[in-house]
Amino acid sequence: MEFIKFDHDLCDECFKCLRVCPTKAIAFTNNRRHIIDHLCIKCGLCQMHCSQGALTIQLDLEKVQNAIKAQKKVLVSLAPSFAGVFKMKTPGQMATALKQLGFEIVEETARGAEIISLEYEKNIGHGGTDNIITSCCPSSNYLIEHYYEKATQSVIPVVSPMTAHGLDMKSRYGHDHMIVFIGPCLAKKAEAVDHPESIDAVITFKELDRWFSEENIILSELETMSFDTPVSRRGRAYPLGGSLWKRDLKTRINPAYKYIHVDGIEACKSFLNSVENGEIKGYCAELNICSGSCINGPDVPSDAPSLYKRMNLLTEYVEKTPLLPTDKPYVDDRLTSAELHNEFIPKLVNAIAINDHQVSEILVKMGKYTMKDQLNCGACGYSSCYEKAVAITKGYSDIDMCLDTLRKKAESLQAIIFDNSPNAICILDSERRIQEVNPSFNQLFNATKIKLTYWPIAALIDDTLFEEIAASNHHHMSKKIYLSSVDRTFYSNVVKIQNGKIYVGIFTDITEAESNRAELEKVKEETLVTCQQVIEKQMRVAQEIASLLGETTAETKIGLNKLKKLVLTEGGD
């Protein structure tokens, strides 16, 4: 499934999405920008941080609206975090608004959270693994399956509250009903695709807010209505994180485990690394990819209250929830543990084989010859230049998409003449040490492809011309030189800049031209010799012809005289 799409026209290549992506699942190349789906954990951080709106998450809103227009039975599973996100006088106004949109039944996903909590208690009570990890956050589940093979065995094999509630509603109301989950989480869209038997569509809070605007529904002006099913405090508190570890559960959970709540992608990765490496044992952890847990999901309306205001509003909502017997709603046993079971299997990403030589070659092309050159500025979206080079090797990025490289090009003479000039060009400091060279210079004088910065120019070519211009008042000198080290002839131009603080050497390869000129001189010489030989031969022929002509003329003269005499003699008779 193509979960996130790029609008290339809106993308301004700021790389903000790549910087926040915890798995670097976004490819930026000259020809394409796209999500690398098998690396993506569906956290939605990229879309949340894209100020240009160039990232679009799979939308189900139109499908839901069409189903309501077709008068199908459409039911809602609403995430309890709504109480802190939308501007209302009472949370019951949300139930009224959803009914006005055409939803037949409106329940809170807190019911599913309570169902899952009961399953968690059973699994935690049994123990059996070094550590235990909850499965309520789909993004953390994707992260574990794709990147932490050993940790998968620690995940409680139970579906999420959303999926559990969908199954519960289908069981109670009928499988012909359309179940729609509404919440702040983008990963729920992907999870719904993985569990089509439970949830038919997912709408985010931001999408719901736009729908309210289209229908001119103002929440704060509506009457209050109760939700269709009562829920527990524990279930409603799930978006705050750590609700499973409340004091009233201590006697019902295995005391062999230390109970912790881990939220935020970096904290989750740190914990999972410890689990993967076998560094910790005896922890039961509730993981949430979003910092602040589900109350801080990625797709809330732009005018929503601040995080801590949202937390305060939701806490008040939870505390006002009526206490039911045993602090839980009536949950029948129509859903068995087998139906709520969800196996988590390692789905490690398909690694593209690379080696250090490939990465080193890319780093050199990026101008990163040493560790000092690797600024690791993160502007490109990757945490280090090495990580960037690996991405280039895999085809996920391009060399030119490096801010440091582009900055150097923009600030130096390379931006003008270096990259495309066929001439070998070098820039030296006042001591005639190399500061920069262009690709043509490297090709001619740097066969070993080592970093030439701070090398004396004399180590590569004759520096006589540089010494001459340094000692003179001239700012420009030209000279034809032959370099035996490369067996080539150059027409060299040296320019002195800033009173000798900078020297620019431009070497035009005229070897071929010189070779052609020598060839031409040879042809000319051979032609002259040939011409002389032809002239001499022609002179001999002319002389021979003249000699022959002289003999022939004499003989002709004798013959004509005899003929004349004969004619005259006959006439006298």
Q: Are 197 and 52 in contact (CB under 8 A)?
A: no
Write out the two tokens for 436: 């920069």
* pLDDT at site 247: 46
pLDDT tens-place string over residues 358-414: 888 888 888 888 888 888 888 888 889 999 999 888 888 888 777 777 777 666 655
Of 139, 159, 5, residue with least CA distance to 77: 159
* pLDDT at site 38: 85
The residues facing 268 across adjacent strands are none
Instruction: Check whether 570 has a pLDDT greater than 60.
Output: no
Tell me the HSE value of 162 on the side-chain side, using a 13 A CA sphere: 33
pLDDT tens-place string over residues 249-258: 444 578 888 8
| Domain at 413-509, CATH homologous superfamily | PAS domain (3.30.450.20)
CB atoms within 10 A of CB 189: 25
Output the average pLDDT for the chain.
86
Of 216, 225, 229, 194, residue with least CA distance to 77: 229
Cα–Cα distance between 327 and 307 in angstroms, integer? 27
CB atoms within 10 A of CB 489: 17
pLDDT tens-place string over residues 167-222: 999 999 999 999 999 999 989 999 999 999 999 999 999 999 999 999 999 999 99
Q: Which of 14-18, 346-350, 428-432 has the lowest mean pLDDT?
A: 346-350
- Specify the pTM: 0.70
Tell me the CA distances in angstroms from 12 to 5, 16, 292, 404, one per residue in order.
15, 10, 29, 18
CB crowding 221-237: b at 16 or more within 10 Å, else e: ebeebebbbbbbbbbbb
The residues facing 494 across adjacent strands are 477, 505
pLDDT tens-place string over residues 135-151: 999 999 999 999 999 99
- Please state the domain extents for the chain: 58-340, 355-411, 413-509, 517-545
Greatest pairwise CA separation for the chain in angstroms: 177
pLDDT tens-place string over residues 499-540: 888 999 999 998 888 888 777 777 667 766 766 666 677 677
Average pLDDT over residues 531-557: 66
* pLDDT at site 248: 44
Average pLDDT over residues 51-64: 86
Helices and strands per DSSP (H, E), number in the chain: 20, 16
Cα–Cα distance between 260 and 253 in angstroms, integer? 13
Q: Are 41 and 143 in contact (CB under 8 A)?
A: yes
* pLDDT at site 332: 64
Identify the residue whose tokens are 């900078």.
502
* pLDDT at site 405: 73
Identify the residue whose tokens are 């560094």.
279
Average pLDDT over residues 79-97: 95
The residues facing 57 across adjacent strands are 4
Of 78, 316, 104, residue with least CA distance to 205: 78
Query: Residue 323 carries which side chain, given as an amino acid letter?
Result: L
3-state secondary structure of 359: helix
Write out the two tokens for 420: 């495309």
Q: What element of type H or E holds 434? A: strand 434-437
3-state secondary structure of 485: coil
Q: The sheet that has 105-108: what strands, in order across it?
A: 105-108, 74-78, 178-183, 201-204
* pLDDT at site 85: 96
pLDDT tens-place string over residues 476-488: 999 888 888 888 8
CB atoms within 10 A of CB 516: 11
Average pLDDT over residues 227-231: 91
Q: What element of type H or E holds 77? A: strand 74-78
CB crowding 540-568: b at 16 or more within 10 Å, else e: eeeeeeeeeeeeeeeeeeeeeeeeeeeee
What are phi and psi for residue 433, nearest 5 degrees? -100, 145
